A and B are shown apart, each in its own frame.
Chain A
Amino acid sequence: MLGVFDIIGPIMIGPSSSHTAGAVRIGKYAHLVLGERPTKAKIGFAGSFAKTYQGHGTDKAIIAGILGMDTDDNRICNSLAIAKEEELNYTFELLELDGVHPNTVDIELEGESGRRISLRGSSVGGGNILINKINGADVLISGKSAALIITHRDTPGMVAKVSNILGINGININKFSLSREEKGGIAIMTIEIDGGIEPSIKQIIQDVPNIVSVSILNAI
């Protein structure tokens, strides 16, 4: 649901809210999902992004986000040079994807510990974004609320156990989705919540049997 600051805002470095600010935010989300200093980035542009990315500074914007910058950071126009200084190697390629929003980007990141993540995001206008895939699993995250990304083995009762922990700790869920690769395989829960979340809750969820990993992603 859109609010007034989705229309008036963000405060941003130009020139394009969808191709610059939205791109910074998708990059920033990838940065949060990775959770450590990125060393390699493979970026695939589709649709309008593919056709006009240089003109709108989308390349600089995505890299700025991956480096952790926000939409109003004055360093965005120098992000490619900053990436060199911070030893982030990046490549850009053009993709042809069917059935996706006109402004879509695929990002693959590798961090300093060797951790790898992938993400697909769309810039849907006015700087607003939707994250459509994380590590291959379908999600639908706007980045406006804090989110928990939980991977677990597909066994009965996992949703109940996790939501119970959140309930006991006074955390309200505003959006929930669950997808899995195959029955009994690895599943991914995406939970968006109102307000923030204490880091200690991450460990409590992590200790539940059959949980593989827990990431807390702040709102951006």
Chain B
Amino acid sequence: MKYDSISELCRKAEEKNLTISELVLRDQAVLMEKSEEEVKCTMRTMLEVMRDSTKEGVNADRRSISGLTGGDAFKMEQRVKEGQSICGPMIGNALIKALSASETNACMGKIVAAPTAGSCGILPSVLMTIATERKLDDEQLVMALFTASAVGIVIANKASISGAEGGCQAECGSASAMAAAALVELCGGSPAMVEHACAIAIKSVLGLVCDPVAGLVEIPCIKRNAMGAANAFVSADMALAGIESKIPVDEVIHAMKVIGDCMNPAFKETAEGGLAATPTAKRLMKEVFG
């Protein structure tokens, strides 16, 4: 199976009366010359590390190697625990988990790149949050990871999942689209709804630049993971309501590629533009590196 169009993938799943995850699992087992159970077993390992990363970072005292970040997942948890989150407990919990995994990453802790380390908080946060909300088991979450992966493969093939090549839209944008796809399938949406959710998720972050302060995967990356998780919920909810993206998902992905290609290198992980070029960023960089 070629992974060069999300629409084609969805049509194939519909034709065969399968979910996208079932279709992708079958295909990948053949590709890897392994049984479906073996492939799922590897994916279960990924899910476990993901789950740990959504908890490990909730720590008031832990700081990143640079000392610039840390403790934000803890602050968010306090607010949700007090029942004060204006986003409500579900999005509040998603924010805690996304911040936690991203802070774990910044501390040189263990995470799963999904699709990259800079965007490692989005998919785990969304999966763990919806699992609690809708009482889903690990088997369902593992399957949803295959749907998310297929979206990621298409984006990698047709555009990019690397901030150095396509800016943050390619990292947090791709992760958000992958998470939105997983959410739609987990909530019983159709393959067509998966397409619209991905399109909506990417459209909202098109043009987002990769401008890490001091070149570190911390500012603004950690908070952008929280945004990416929220964007996944927003996009999936609209798609599940039957709202359609007027621009088809594959065209949205192509637009992302064109934008990435036109993007000045200063905005592609080189830490020379955007937030990284602000006076405060320069001061922070001096504090860290002298």
Q: Please count the residue pairs between chain A and chain B whose beta carbons lie under 8 angstroms apart in the complex.
A: 163
CA distance A13 to B120 in the complex (A): 11
Chain B residues with Cβ below 8 Å from A3 are 28, 31-32, 153
Q: Which residues of B contact A54 (CB under 8 A)?
A: 215, 289
Are the C-beta atoms of B153 and A51 separated by less than 8 Å?
Answer: no
Contact A8 B104 (CB under 8 A): no
> What chain B residues lie within 8 Å of A124 (beta carbons)?
162
B230 interface contact, C-beta 8 A: no
Q: Is A173 an interface residue (CB 8 A)?
A: no
Partner pick for B149 among A7, A17, A47, CB 8 A cutoff: A7
Q: What string of 1s and 0s marks CB contacts (under 8 Å) between B23-37 and chain A?
A: 010001001110000
Check B148–A15 contact: CB distance below 8 A.
no
Do the beta carbons of B108 and A76 come within 8 Å of each other? yes
The smallest beta-carbon distance between A48 and chain B, in angstroms, is 5
**Cβ contact within 8 Å between A6 and B108:** no
CB of A14 within 8 A of CB of B105, answer: yes
Contact B117 A16 (CB under 8 A): yes
Encode B133-163 as 1/0 by CB contact (under 8 A) with A.
0000000000001101110110011001111
A21–B217 alpha-carbon span in the complex (Å):
13
The yes or no answer to B43 lying at the interface (CB within 8 A) is yes
Q: Which of A11, A12, A48, A127 contacts B268 (CB 8 A)?
A: A48
The docked-state distance in angstroms from the alpha carbon of A76 to that of B109 is: 10
B238 at the interface (CB under 8 A from A): no
Q: Does A184 contact B (CB under 8 A)?
A: no
Query: Which residues of chain B are near A48, meaning CB under 8 Å?
Result: 164, 268-270
A57 to B238, CA, bound (A): 40
Kindly state whether residue B107 has any CB partner on chain A within 8 Å: yes
| Cβ contact within 8 Å between B271 and A17 | no
Report the minimal beta-carbon distance from A127 to chain B, rounded to whole angstroms. 5
Evaluate contact between B110 and A13: CB separation under 8 angstroms: yes
* Bound-complex Cα distance A7 to B214 (A): 26
- B153/A16 in contact, CB under 8 A: no
Shortest distance between the CB of A122 and any CB in chain B (Å): 10
Interface size of A in residues (CB-CB distance below 8 Å): 40
Q: Say whether B72 faces chain A, with CB atoms less than 8 Å apart.
A: no
Given contacts A8-B145, A21-B117, A51-B272, contact A14 B106 (CB under 8 A): yes
Say yes or no: is A77 at the interface (Cβ < 8 Å to chain B). Answer: yes
Q: Are A55 and B215 in contact (CB under 8 A)?
A: yes
Residue B91 lies at the interface, judged by CB distance under 8 Å to chain A? no
B156 touches A6 (CB 8 A): yes
Kindly provide the distance from the CB of B28 to the nearest chain A CB, expressed in whole angstroms: 5
Given A15-B117, A125-B164, A7 and B156 contact (CB-CB distance below 8 Å): yes
State in angstroms the CA–CA spacing of A125 and B157 once bound together: 12
Q: A190 in the interface, Cβ–Cβ < 8 Å? A: no
Q: How far is the CB of B129 from chain A (nearest CB, A)?
A: 18
Say yes or no: A127 contacts B113, CB within 8 Å. Answer: yes
Residues of B within 8 Å of A102, CB to CB, are 164-165, 265, 268-269
**B46 contacts partner chain A, Cβ-Cβ < 8 Å:** yes
Q: Contacts A6-B153, A55-B271, A126-B115 hold; do A14 and B289 have CB atoms under 8 A apart?
A: no
Residues of chain A whose beta carbon lies under 8 Å from any beta carbon of chain B: 1-18, 20-21, 47-48, 51-52, 54-57, 72, 74, 76-77, 102-103, 124-127, 194-195
Residue pairs across A and B with Cβ atoms less than 8 A apart, 6 shown, are: A8-B152, A16-B217, A48-B270, A52-B270, A55-B212, A55-B216
**13 additional contacts, CB 8 Å, given A52-B271, A124-B162, A125-B160?**
A5-B149, A9-B46, A9-B112, A13-B110, A14-B109, A15-B64, A15-B106, A15-B117, A15-B217, A21-B113, A51-B271, A126-B113, A127-B116
List 7 A-B pairs, minimum CB-CB distance, nearest first: A125-B162, A52-B215, A14-B105, A55-B215, A7-B152, A4-B149, A15-B217
